[in-house]
Amino acid sequence: MAQIIDGKLVSKKILENLSDEILFLEKKPSLTVIIVGEDPASKIYVNLKKKKAQELGIHSNVIEMPESVSQKELLDKIEELNNDDSVNAVLVQLPLPKHIDTKAVIEKINPIKDVDCFHPYNMGQIATNGKPYVYPCTPKGIIRLLEYYDIPIEGKNAVVIGRSNIVGRPVAQMLLNQNATVTICHSKTKNLDAIVKNADIIISAVGQKNLIKADMVKDGAVVIDVGMNRADDGKLCGDVDFYNVEKKAAFITPVPGGVGPMTICSLMQNTFDLYKIQNGS
């Protein structure tokens, strides 16, 4: 029976500490989120971010732009925020409408305010074991969970399934930077089962339910499920066949309640970290 990695608990503790630190600040950290269009899921996420920021005493501002906004207007708005000293952290909620060049938008954000850590400069720092201003939220959350439960990383075989820029690629780099032997798998990988069977640490960030089955998991493995899917009964589930994998793993994250809460927690930490960097500490 695996020990459950409780992301709700860990994020709660981190945010309580963060709240205490922010309480004593005269000038509060400030996060601005740009949302383009009316995508319902995006609206939910943005509201969540705004609400969490407010709970912690972080100033949050949401700028709503219509679906039809031009790329130039969006880039100009980001430039304005780059130059606004009262704004510490900027993010643009993805996805963006198809007429917008997402990479150009990501690159417009000044890396020192890039709270999502999507800018190639910050990603390049991670890829070279350097010093990004902050770390990408979900990978940062994953590493924090491993640390909280004293799960060793050095020398371990870590298998990351999924190579998105948001999760798979950066978490692989961050595990490598902590001396794991890292394998990155994806849709073109052959023999996924055999590769995962050798893993000490499995990070699945694919978005496919029941991808990770018990016969793919070695006894005592650590299983981190980043997937967010709908099960047949409509409930939220991850990539992992939790019920069966739990019997073999040493540690496992549930969905929901595992990695998910850590992502927004990291966003708040990142906002505070950027505030501190910009205010000279």
Nearer to a second copy, 169 or 209 (CB): 169
What is the nearest approach in angstroms of a second copy to the Cβ of residue 270? 17
Binding site for a second copy (CB under 8 A): 103, 119-130, 154-155, 157, 163, 165, 169-170, 173, 176, 179, 181-186, 188-191, 195
For the CB of residue 136, give the shortest distance to a second copy in the complex, in Å: 11
- Classify the C-alpha dihedral 161-163-168-171 as positive or negative: positive
DSSP per residue, 94-153: SPPPTTS-HHHHHHHS-GGGBTT--SHHHHHHHHTT---SS--HHHHHHHHHHHHTT---
Pick 181 or 244: Cβ nearer a second copy: 181
Of 18 and 211, CB closest to a second copy? 211
Q: What are phi and psi of 277, to 5 degrees?
A: -60, -45
Q: 37 exposed, middle or buried (CB, 10 Å; 0-12, 13-18, 19+)?
A: middle
Q: Please state, in angstroms and rounded to a whole number, the distance separating the CA atoms of residues 99 and 148.
A: 42
Measured CA to CA, the distance from residue 175 to residue 180 in angstroms comes to 5
CB of 178 to a second copy, least distance (A): 9
**Least CB distance from residue 153 to a second copy, whole Å?**
10
CB-nearer residue toward a second copy: 135 or 242: 135
Rounded alpha-carbon distances, angstroms, from residue 15 to 73, 83, 142, 259, 274: 35, 28, 16, 15, 16
Minimum distance, C-beta of residue 186 to a second copy, in the bound complex (Å)? 7
* Residues identified as active-site: 49, 93, 116
At 261, list the tokens. 């809460």
Closest contact distance (angstroms) between CB of 185 and a second copy is: 5
Report CA dihedral (144, 177, 271, 147) to the nearest 10 degrees: 10
> For residues 23 and 274, is the Cβ–Cβ distance under 8 A?
no
Q: Which residues contact 94 (CB under 8 A, 6 or more apart)?
A: 42, 102
Tell me if 1 sits within 8 A of 247, measured CB to CB.
Answer: yes
Q: Which is nearer to a second copy, 63 or 127 (CB)?
A: 127
> Quick one: 56 or 100, whose CB is closer to a second copy?
100
